[in-house]
Structure 1
């Protein structure tokens, strides 16, 4: 067998998010989140009527779902905790039954020799805190640190890899700038404030972990490599803006203690503030790793009408997923090498990577054949291997997603899972991509060569 580029201790797993799979959002004393509110407003959802009330019913099927993970050979499971399950009002009173669910989940994972990777916040801010301004309130950093500390004290040691925030860019861009995601705002002046308070919350949560935790903590960002559509000055400048807005806006404050101010001022104009130096020092904390979520690239051209970046993507003649994203594996290697060259060889985990393609609502007698997803996984994992060959310190890969689930405002219309979910019966059926991934894990990637 050809030698694999993946080191012997490479961590193979899959990822999910609490609101997308758990269901039972108000069970056992939990408080509502902004996503429960958003989903129940048909004016906001692209798929009106789809909610997370049942989702994959993971809250009631956790033990069998973990057994399925073991059956597939997963070595790690990245999941998020529901802030409102643990703190129904966002702060103050702890809901012990909610905390107990995650306590049982962690113990069940460990009993199956699956390492937990816990994400503290994957977009489901408690509704009670949104009523107090949400991420526009500077107190949000204190709220988040309080919530994080409760989980550290309960689970650290059994959980050895922690993530503060998942994709703060999506929270801000979708939730505060374009209104496509919860809480559904559209305000250029709010977006930088939400960004900054998210990053302050990240910094405060890392500080809290250093005070009580004994293992590893990091940040997860989504990266979309940007390529200019031409060598014109305008397209190159537009690409630089798009790159700063999506890829540098959160990494640079976390790792370098500064924002890419030049480009962000060009984008936001008077809406981009000058932030205090003490805030930047609070944000820039030592991290043990960075998690990167990668799905696609963008070829960018200048577009004065495109708000706010004055840049827009150029469609490419290529395979696209049902979310409209181009399949382009070389960008994954490019992105990982860019990260190493820009920030040093910080340990990296691919914390999400996957694709939505059409799958039928019910599995047939022969299961689910998903050749496009198989090809996506095979080619993108190979691209990670190429980055490792080039010296990038990638230590693990989490497929998105373990299960078909609620794709946020798109509802149940997009299936990312390597395991098919029949939403009527809640039957789980591993797709051909799951069997492929199991073999990749078994051979530590050697079967890709």
Structure 2
């Protein structure tokens, strides 16, 4: 049992956070629940893709069992409380709640999600619920996935069901997690199902996703519930190599495509004119029907979740584009590896803590200082078992990572940023899409053979920081 020091000992913390700051972590249904073919759940695209191409998953490991949250949610929630969580985000599985994506609701799933919510609340952990985290029901994908207006309407119906079932207890809802990722992975770069490489179809998926988001927001507000609805975006800053005009232009294009394509319609209710002009110039505009832009304009959010892991560094193109190849964002910029950058040697990603500050400052200066929180931030480590000493992962590197980002978050808040919390990815080492369990992120180590959970040193540190609402 972790016993953090008395809160009174921390009244002069160097980095003290606002009262009621959200301390917690994030996960998702497919990555944590397991029981993929139990409890009346229908197949989602990850179940299907694994059946078709298991070799596309690290060590051929599927999400079938994942981290067994479905069976162990009560003890897992107790462990969350033990390390100081006052909030926790996860998602509902659309294919568990409505197995074919629309129609009959699965009562076993209704009961399960109700028990999870009640257990969180009983442990003084506020549930944050996301409605879509990459896990399209197979029946909906067969209709065209997010390319289909029919699926947009089915998703809005699914959202409506969730609000009616749980809106009395869940006060923070999120329509989508990282909606750019299915666009990139599924329709540009072949790392998610359905493995399409086609920019115009990707643009359609992006646009229809925002329509689905706005329809869900409309359904939520129609119910006049006592809560907030938002969206979670991975806002990866695009830093130019230099202030040379060509580098700045290249970074701006990357920012338009990967950040502002979802940020502006979510918060401002409109698309950047620069983005529209870019898509028109290159004949990549998605089909827009009468009333679509009015729908999106009404979908502005109450709360924004910000996922941040690493920066995007951009330079102007160094070589001529092969115009016979697929039209891709990389026609307009190259990625740049900054000399002297700080790296996570166990994952291959740059660590740039100031990125949190830059994102929050941008939101304060250019997006009305919308209420927000860091909804994901984390350090993945391959082969983390090499850091086990006396049965515990001594992940001081993760503590340093969290401290570094919280230090910059604190600076942004001191300057007026409306940031309300920090969630680490993730609570327990969980299954991570095509990477499966290759990289570990959790506060708790998961033994895949025994499903034993063991707190890491970072979990103990987080318990103290949360109880003290700050750190030195």
- TM-score, structure 1 normalization: 0.95
RMSD of the alignment, in Å? 1.8
**Pairing 1:157–2:130 present:** no
Corresponding residue for 2:329?
A: 308
Query: What's the offset of the Cα at 1:241?
Result: 0.5
Deviations 1:345-402 (A, max 9, x none): 1100111111102311895534001122111101101111111011001111111111
Query: Is the contact between residue 38 and residue 184 of structure 1 (CA under 8 Å) also seen in structure 2?
Result: no
C-alpha separation between the residues in 1 aligned to 2:267 and 2:394? 42
Give the Å deviation of 1:78: 0.4
1:184 shift after superposition: 2.0
Correspondence for 2:7: none
Measured after TM superposition, the shift of residue 274 of structure 1 is: 6.3
Classify 1:92/1:274 alpha carbon distance in 2 versus 1 (closer, same or farther; 3 Å): closer
Q: What is residue 280 of structure 1 aligned with on the other side? A: 293
Structure 2 CA distance for aligned equivalents of residues 140 and 382 of structure 1: 42
Given candidates 214, 217, 232, the residue that maps to 2:229 is 217
Query: Which secondary structure state, in structure 1, belongs to the residue aligned with residue 72 of structure 2?
Result: helix
Q: Given the alignment, which residue of 404, 414, 426 partners 2:429?
A: 404
Hey, what does 1:339 align to over in structure 2? Answer: 363
Q: Which moved more, 1:309-318 or 1:391-400?
A: 309-318
Moved more, 433-442 or 264-273: 264-273
Is the alpha carbon distance of 1:48 and 1:132 closer, same or farther for their aligned partners in structure 2, counting shifts above 3 Å?
A: farther
Q: Against the structure 1 CA distance between its residues 142 and 26, is the aligned structure 2 distance closer, same or farther, given a 3 Å change threshold?
A: same
Aligned counterparts, 1:194-213, within 5 A? 194-212=205-223, 213=225
The answer for the alignment partner of 1:291 in structure 2 is: 305
Task: Give the direction of change, closer, same or farther, for the CA distance of 1:273–1:127 in structure 2 (3 Å limit).
Answer: closer
Q: Is the 8 A contact 2:91 2:130 kept in 1?
A: yes
2:436 is the alignment partner of 1:415:
no
Distance in 2, matches of 1:362 and 1:421, equals 14
Which blocks of at least 5 consecutive residues in structure 2 are unaligned? 1-11, 323-327
Whether the 8 Å CA contact 1:15–1:398 is kept in 2: the answer is yes
Paired with 2:53 and 2:196, the residues of 1 have a C-alpha distance of 15
Q: How far 1:406 sits from its partner (Å)?
A: 1.2
**Rounded Cα–Cα distance in structure 2 between residues aligned with 1:406 and 1:43:** 14
Work out the CA distance in 1 between the residues paired with 2:54 and 2:277. Answer: 32
Distance in 2 between the 1:426 and 1:299 partners?
39
Alpha-carbon distance, 1:258 to partner: 2.3
Q: 1:271 aligns with which of 284, 291, 309?
A: 284
Is residue 80 of structure 1 aligned with residue 91 of structure 2? yes
Structure 2 SS opposite 1:209: helix
2:342: which partner in 1? 319
- The SS at the match of 2:85 is coil
CA distance, structure 2, for counterparts of residue 228 and residue 253 of structure 1: 24
Could you tell me how far 1:246 is from its partner in structure 2? 1.2
Q: Which whole-Å CA distance do the structure 2 matches of 1:228 and 1:386 have between them? A: 23
Inter-partner Cα distance in structure 2 for 1:186 and 1:425: 40
Q: TM-score scaled by structure 2? A: 0.91
Provide the rounded CA distance (Å) in 1 between the counterparts of 2:110 and 2:36: 14
Corresponding residue number in structure 2 for 1:369: 394
Are residues 386 and 429 of structure 1, via their aligned partners in 2, closer, same or farther at CA, if it must alter by over 3 Å? same
Q: Which residues in structure 2 correspond to 1:419-434 (within 5 Å)?
A: 419-434=444-459
Q: Is the 1:55–1:406 contact (alpha carbons within 8 Å) kept by the matching residues of 2?
A: yes
Which residues of 2 match residues 29-48 of structure 1 at below 5 A? 29-42=40-53, 45-47=56-58
- 1:9 aligns to 2:20 (yes or no): yes
Query: How has the CA–CA distance of structure 1 residues 43 and 65 changed in structure 2, closer, same or farther, with 3 Å as cutoff?
Result: closer
Mean Cα displacement is larger for which, 32-41 or 339-348?
Answer: 32-41
**In structure 1, C-alpha distance between the alignment counterparts of 2:77 and 2:408, rounded to whole Å:** 28
CA contact (8 A) 2:268 2:300 kept: no
Asked if structure 1 preserves the Cα contact closer than 8 Å seen for 2:214 and 2:300, the reply is no
Residue from 107, 113, 120 that aligns with 2:118: 107
Aligned length: 447
Residue 219 of structure 1: SS of its match in structure 2? strand
* Aligned counterparts of 1:444 and 1:76: Cα–Cα separation in 2: 13
2:133 paired with 1:122:
yes
Q: What is the Cα deviation at residue 42 of structure 1?
A: 3.0
C-alpha displacement of 1:231: 2.2
Give the Å deviation of 1:312: 2.4
